[in-house]
Structure formats: structure tokens, C-alpha cells
Structure 1
Amino acid sequence: MDASPTALFDSYEQDFKQLVQSIDAKLSEGKDAGGEDRKAALRRVEMEMEEADELVSQLDIEISSIPQNVRQHYHTRLRDAKSSLSRCKTSLKDARSSLARSDLLSSSKPYSSDDPYGSSSDRTRLLSGTQLLENGTKRLEESQRMALETESHGAEILTNLRGQREQIENSRDTLLRADIAIDRASNTLKQMVRRMYQQRAITYSIIAVLIILIVVIVWEKLSG
């Protein structure tokens, strides 16, 4: 198993590309399908879209463990993945809108040639359905905007965490260097103290010898 820092990123990216191909294929097939088949295809696309979204989040997380000297290249690949995911979301939204319009039109009753809009009740239901469709589209766009904002905040938090980790690592290196400097200073002080004691012992020895010599000279003079 590849244990390099970029192995997981490459694996997630490969899985994501396969999902994107599957989503594109299902959306393309769904255009020609009718009714329930089209709805089933969209449900499968929605499940794959959630999985693709999770893979992009994993790619964003794995970026932090990639060495700095090659990280920029992987940032570019991450942006490409996010762009592909955004395109798929837009295609899915268009497919949902198209399906909703088809359902609405298919549920409308036939109208008479005298009234091109059908009866008042049919026209009211059509307007109401159109309004519901517009409201649903707005809610979907709002949900997508909130998801993008959440994703942006998450990326910002990860960036801050990476910065904090680098600061902690720098502080740890500084503490290690300070610890080494303190050890060296302590050894130097010990050597200075040892030399001081040695010099003091030598001084005391010289004084003792001088005293003995003085005593001997005085003794010889007194005895002579």
C-alpha cells in the first residue's frame, strides 16, 4: 500500500472523477427517460452527489498533510474538483426543474379551443404550481449558497488550524534551541566553578607554604 503523503489525495480524487462520470451519464440518460424512470435516475444522482461532496471535503482535508513544495499543484487539482462538483450541482438543479415542469404540464387537464388557458381552476393550479416551482428553486439556490458559505468557512478554519500548527511547531523548535543553549550555559558555569575551586586551593597552598617558610626562618634566627 502506498504510504506517501499524496496517496490518499490521489485515491480520493480518482474516486471523485469516477463519480462525476457516473453522474454525468445518469443525467444524460435521464433526459430521455420518462416519468418514474427519470425520477429514479435523479434519486441515484442525488445519492452519488452526496458521496462526491464528501470526497471533495476529504480532498480539502488531505491538502494539509501534503508537503509545501508540491501543495500548490494539489490546490489546483482541488479547485478543479470543486468546479466539477459545482457544475454537477447546477446540472442536477436544472434536471429537477425540468422534471417539475414536466410533471406540472402532464397533470394539467386538456383545455377547450375556446379558452387557450383552460378553465379558471386549471389556470389557477398552473399559476400556483409555477409559483411553487419558483419558490422551490429559490430555496434550492439558497441552500446551495449556504452550503458554499459553509464550505468556505470550513476551508478558512482549516487554514487557520494549519497556521496555528505551524506556529506551535516553530515555538517547539525555539524551545528546543533554548533548552540546548541553557544546557551549554550550565556546563560552562560548572566548569567556571570547578576552576574557581582549583584556583582557591592553589592560593591556600601557596599561603600555607609561605607561612611555614616564615616560621622556619624565624625559628632559625631565634635559635642562632
Structure 2
Amino acid sequence: MENSPTSLFDSYEQDFQQIISSIRQKLDGDTNNDGGEQRKAALRRVEMELDEADEMVSQMEIEIQGIPQSLKAQYTARIRASKADLQRFKKASKDLHSQLARSDLLASSTRPGMGPATSDEPYGSTTDRTRLLAGTALLEDGSRRLMDSHRIALETEEQGADILRSLRGQREQIENSRDTLNRADTSIDRASGTLKKMIRRMYQQRVVTAAIIVVLVLLIGIILWAKLWR
């Protein structure tokens, strides 16, 4: 597995591009050519993929925190391009939702049994009003989902930044502990050398003391011999 500082960013970016390619195919092809229900299903799939793409961008923003400064400018530009693509397709999806809602309203107003609008019922029959309310609710639901996705992305980014700060603090603590251990090891070596010198001097003093005692004993013996035998 590649362990370069940009490997995860590149992986998320590749996933993002695959999702964007799938969204582009659906918006350019399926949603324009399919029938009403198929178009709705395609747009629902587009919404789910937009959420996935939004999550990929959030992951890319987290990973860029660990990229070296020499490369960060290049990858920041790539994130901006990805965000621009994402916003463009979000707008396209919202526009298609609006077009589909208007098409449903127009179709319902021309169906048999659906009378024209009157002054008492400016939007036509009760069914027309229901469809209009449903279309408005659908648009509001889509906007709410986009806002929720954006909020989740911001929360994820903030959590990722907190985790990175925590990891950076832990790394500094480990480095400080390692430096402290190195200094302690150096101090222990110096203390060990000092103790060895003290022990060596102690033995030397013992030898000197023993030699002095032997000399004194010999002198005493010589003095006693001289007094007793002369």
C-alpha cells in the first residue's frame, strides 16, 4: 500500500471523479430521455451520489491538512475545482427538479376532468393544488438535504481538524519524552562514570592505607628489636 502523504487524497479525488462522471451521465442522458417516474428515480440516484461526492470533498479537505506545504497549494487548487464541479451539478440537479415539478403541474392541468383555473380556485382543481404543494415540498426537501449535507461536511471537517491537532500534540509530547529520556540516559552515563572513578579511588586509598600500615608495623618491629636485642 502506498504510504505517500498524498495517497489518501488522490484516492478520495479518484472516487469523487467517478461519482461526478456517473452524475454527469444521469443528468445529460437518463433524466432528459426517460419518462416521468424514471426521471424521478434517476434524480433520486443523482441526489444520493451528490451526497457521496460531498463526503469525498470533505475527506479531501481533511487529508490536505497533512500534505507538505510544498504541495499544499497544488492540492488546494484541486479541491477548489472539485467544489466548483460539485456546486455546478447540484445546481443542475435542482434545476431539473424544478423542471420536473413544473412539467407535472402542467400535465395535471391538461388532464381530462381537471377544469381550468377560476377566480375561486386560482390553481385549478384541488388535485392541482395538491400537486403544487407536493412539488414545493419536494424542492424544500431537496434544499434541506443540501443544507444538511453541507452542515455535516463542516462538522466532519471540524472534527478532522481537531483530530489532526490532537495527533500533532501527541507527537510533540512523544518527541519531548524521547528528548527527556535521551538526556536522562546521558546523565546516567555520566553518573556511572563518576561512580566508577570514586570506586577506583577508594581502592587506591585502601592500597595506600594498607601500605602505610605495613610500613608502620615494620618500623615498630625494627624499633622493638633494636631496644630488646642491643
For Structure 1 versus Structure 2, the TM-score category normalised by the shorter chain is 0.7 to 0.9
Amino acid at match of 1:11: S
| Contact 1:111-1:118 at 8 Å conserved across structures | no
- Superposed, which structure 2 residues align to 1:12-161 within 5 Å? 12-30=12-30, 32-33=32-33, 34-60=35-61, 62-63=63-64, 66=67, 70=71, 73-108=74-109, 112=116, 117=122, 119=124, 121=126, 124-125=129-130, 128-129=133-134, 132-133=137-138, 135-161=140-166
Which runs of no fewer than 5 residues in structure 2 stay unpaired?
A: none
> What is aligned with 1:205?
210
**Superposition deviation, residue 130 in structure 1:** 6.2
Task: Quote the Cα distance in structure 2 between the aligned partners of 1:114 and 1:71.
Answer: 62
Residues 27 and 131 (structure 1), Cα distance of their counterparts in 2 relative to 1, 3 Å cut: closer
Task: Quote the Cα distance in structure 2 between the aligned partners of 1:133 and 1:169.
Answer: 53
Residues 130 and 20 (structure 1), Cα distance of their counterparts in 2 relative to 1, 3 Å cut: closer
Q: Matched residues, percent identical?
A: 33
Residues 201 and 156 (structure 1), Cα distance of their counterparts in 2 relative to 1, 3 Å cut: same
TM-score, normalised by the number of residues in structure 1: 0.73
Task: Quote the Cα distance in structure 2 between the aligned partners of 1:65 and 1:76.
Answer: 16
| Contact 1:5-1:65 at 8 Å conserved across structures | yes
CA RMSD of aligned residues (A): 3.6
Which runs of no fewer than 5 residues in structure 1 stay unpaired?
A: none
Residues 163 and 85 (structure 1), Cα distance of their counterparts in 2 relative to 1, 3 Å cut: farther
- Secondary structure at the counterpart of residue 41 of structure 1: helix
**Superposition deviation, residue 13 in structure 1:** 1.9
Amino acid at match of 1:212: V
TM-score, normalised by the number of residues in structure 2: 0.71
**Superposition deviation, residue 183 in structure 1:** 3.4
